[in-house]
Homo-oligomer: A and B are copies of this chain.
Amino acid sequence: MALIVQKYGGSSVGNLERIANVARRVARTYDEGNKVVVVVSAMAGETDRLIDTAKAIRDTPNEREMDVLVSTGEQVSMALLAITLDSMGYRAKSYCGWQIPIVTTDAYCAARIEDVRREKIAADLDEGRIVIVAGFQGIDCHGNITTLGRGGSDTSAVAVAAALKADRCEIYTDVDGIYTTDPNITNKARKLKKVAFEEMLEMASVGAKVLYIRAVELGMTQGVPIMVLSSFSDTEGTLVTQEDENMEKELVTAVTCSTKEAKITLSGVPDRPGVASRIFVPLAEANIVVDMIIQNASADGIADISFTIPSADLSKALKILEDAKDFLEVKEITGANDIAKVSIIGAGMRSHAGVAAKMFTTLADERINIEMISTSEIKISCVIKKKYAELAVRALHENFDLDMKT
């Protein structure tokens, strides 16, 4: 007998037929002799519908009340799933975040989980019940309803699994696992059986959308293995887990590509202490997240600085910098939206030299110019022109032996 936490996303509970499908899957896991806790999202589209309704009143609705409003989404889907399981003859009981309670910080719309109480869930499981928990929501220390922000239900599921010391946390989505790269870019993409937490973190940070970073972080720090599966098929998923000796030691595990970034270059910047701070403090104050930063060495006391930001923030960032141009003593400011960030990720890089060189050679062979480079222990990213993004991904996927064998 295992204790399994299953999380179903919005598309998996999008209508009554799909909820019945989820109920059958939950019942099957229960019938196999397991204790089952189910974490649900709001029905697909419901959260957006509620947000749109509130924004029709005001562009920036009161955040405390937004959380009161949108948290009804999960409450509806958890009740409908409980009613469905009950109608099938299973004893099921649903809990809102405040009922568990799932205690969070008081940052409305972006709260962080601080504690998940296990007592009620554990007692129900011991009595043979299936427990259903609303994802995405919690309660702060003042008794206010909070939500965790986008992707919060994944985090709820992993946090619940950690509190219960569950054997694993299964995340059901509309894809059936983690792939070596986006299957829309190459039909040679392979589904991975296992991914290390750190690889998954790097993949999430560069645009892989299957799992949210906070959920992966929590799984890693709490030691909860996460299985990514499709709720629409019975094919084997991908297990995200601790890196272990037996894990297939591929040099590179995956190739990712993000086209949602923009590059800003400041030319003719005086090369003296305090300059970088002058540039990046106002951007941080405007909540613009800066990713890669590169500063050229300079011989004559003048440098060039390039950095990437989310492309949605490009015009805001350019305005802030233009306004401060004289203060910054910068000669020229240019912005480019036509870039892509291509990354290779793999825990195997740690013990292998020459991975970066192979990546640069692969891109050079395709005559793709590299504009920026950044590296971490298990990731190398290159900024290139957006029009070469798919070509770069396919070439890297092939050269690092990730292509599906036919």
Q: Could you list which residues of chain A lie within 8 angstroms of chain B, going by C-beta atoms?
A: 16, 19-20, 50, 53-54, 56-58, 61-62, 64-66, 68-69, 71-72, 75-76, 78-80, 82-84, 86-87, 92-94, 96, 98-99, 143, 145
Whether B16 pairs with A56 at a CB distance below 8 angstroms is yes
Whether A94 pairs with B79 at a CB distance below 8 angstroms is no
| A61 CB contacts on chain B under 8 angstroms | 83, 86-87
Whether B53 pairs with A65 at a CB distance below 8 angstroms is no
Closest 7 CB pairs of A and B: A69-B79, A58-B87, A72-B72, A62-B86, A68-B79, A65-B82, A61-B83
Q: Shortest Cβ distance from A317 into chain B, in angstroms?
A: 29
Q: Complex formed: what's the CA distance from A99 to B79 in Å?
A: 20
Which one, B65, B66, B84, B99, contacts A57 given CB within 8 A? B84
Having A57-B87, A96-B145, one finds 13 other A-B pairs with CB under 8 Å, namely A16-B56, A50-B76, A53-B80, A54-B79, A61-B86, A61-B87, A62-B82, A65-B79, A65-B82, A65-B83, A66-B79, A66-B83, A72-B76
| A86 CB contacts on chain B under 8 angstroms | 58, 61-62, 65
Q: Complex formed: what's the CA distance from A66 to B86 in Å?
A: 12
Q: Shortest Cβ distance from A131 into chain B, in angstroms?
A: 13
Q: Complex formed: what's the CA distance from A83 to B83 in Å?
A: 31
Q: Complex formed: what's the CA distance from A66 to B84 in Å?
A: 11
| A57 CB contacts on chain B under 8 angstroms | 16, 19-20, 80, 83-84, 87
Secondary structure of the A contact surface, majority rule: helix
Q: Shortest Cβ distance from A209 into chain B, in angstroms?
A: 28
- State the oligomeric state as a number of copies: 2
| A145 CB contacts on chain B under 8 angstroms | 96
Q: Shortest Cβ distance from A167 into chain B, in angstroms?
A: 27
Tell whether A93 pairs with B64 under 8 Å between CB atoms, given A57-B87, A87-B58.
yes
| A19 CB contacts on chain B under 8 angstroms | 57
**30 intermolecular pairs with C-beta atoms under 8 Å apart:** A16-B57, A19-B57, A20-B57, A53-B80, A54-B79, A54-B80, A58-B87, A61-B83, A61-B86, A62-B83, A62-B92, A64-B93, A65-B79, A65-B83, A65-B86, A65-B92, A68-B75, A68-B78, A68-B79, A68-B82, A68-B94, A68-B96, A69-B76, A69-B79, A69-B80, A69-B83, A72-B72, A72-B75, A72-B76, A75-B75
Q: Complex formed: what's the CA distance from A57 to B13 in Å?
A: 14
Q: Complex formed: what's the CA distance from A143 to B98 in Å?
A: 10
- Of all chain B residues, which has the CB nearest A134? B68
Q: Complex formed: what's the CA distance from A75 to B71 in Å?
A: 9
Q: Shortest Cβ distance from A379 into chain B, in angstroms?
A: 42
| A92 CB contacts on chain B under 8 angstroms | 62, 65
